[in-house]
């Protein structure tokens, strides 16, 4: 879902969801409403000069949260309970994530794979993008991108599942 809001500034506290083992920035109900009141919205989130593409996850009672990786926490010098100034801006990118050059190279040479990718939901597209980009080695990024797109092409349209895109079977 494309963002239709202006830049928003607010303060948040770093929280932790222990069962899920994740850190997050809490987003109060008034900010959720200013973002359109829906969880599917994507935006650029900035804290302490660190910016990343993000989205809202429902927390309950009108509140939401933004995932905060331990890497970002370390970069920003944050810990559980830290208060931080947050800036949210519309994310005008096509997928809500930057396509790594290795995945783009696969798309450039495989029109069928690109068409199948285009037919996926935005969330599934972001999953493929993030998984392809999730390793440091350019060679491994190429291998992951090729493997996922080849697996995607073998699946029936409308029956795409993360585990099958990864090559995992029952």
Which residues span the domain enclosing 71? 8-90
CATH of the domain at 26: 2.40.30.100
Q: pLDDT class for 42, splitting at 50, 70, 90?
A: confident
The verdict on residue 48 lying in a domain is: yes
Q: Please state, in angstroms and rounded to a whole number, the distance separating the CA atoms of residues 148 and 152.
A: 6
Is residue 3 in a domain?
no
pLDDT digits (tens, 9 = 90+) for 64-76: 999 998 888 998 8
pLDDT band at 2 (very low <50, low <70, confident <90, very high): low
Identify the pLDDT of residue 170.
Answer: 61
pLDDT given for residue 104 in this prediction: 94
Its sign, for the CA torsion 118, 124, 126, 129, is negative
Asked, for residue 2, whether it belongs to a domain, the answer is no
Q: How many domains does the chain have?
A: 2
Residue 40 has pLDDT above 80, yes or no: no
| Residues 79 and 25 placed together within one structural domain of the fold | yes
Give the pLDDT confidence of 120-163 residue by residue, as tens digits: 998 899 899 989 988 889 999 999 999 999 999 999 998 899 99
Asked whether residue 1 is domain-assigned, the answer is: no
Residue 10 reports pLDDT greater than 80: yes
Tell whether 70 and 117 lie within a shared domain: no
Residue finishing a domain among 57, 90, 123: 90
The last residue of a domain, from among 38, 64, 90: 90
């Amino acid at each position: 879902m494309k963002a239709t809001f202006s830049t928003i500034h607010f303060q948040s506290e770093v929280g932790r969801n222990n069962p899920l083992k994740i850190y997050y920035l809490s987003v109060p109900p008034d900010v959720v409403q200013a973002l359109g009141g829906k969880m599917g919205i994507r935006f650029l989130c900035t804290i302490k000069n660190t910016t990343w593409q993000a989205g809202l996850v429902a927390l309950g009672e009108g509140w939401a949260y933004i995932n905060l990786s331990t890497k970002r926490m370390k970069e920003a010098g944050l810990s559980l309970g830290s208060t931080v100034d947050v800036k949210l801006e519309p994310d005008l990118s096509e997928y809500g994530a930057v396509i790594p050059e290795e995945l783009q190279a696969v798309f450039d040479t495989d029109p069928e794979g690109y068409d199948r990718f285009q037919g996926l939901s935005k969330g599934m597209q972001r999953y493929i993008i993030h998984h392809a980009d999730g390793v440091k080695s350019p060679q491994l990024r190429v291998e992951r991108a090729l493997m996922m797109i080849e697996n995607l092409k073998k699946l029936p349209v409308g029956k795409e599942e993360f585990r099958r895109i990864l090559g995992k079977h029952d």
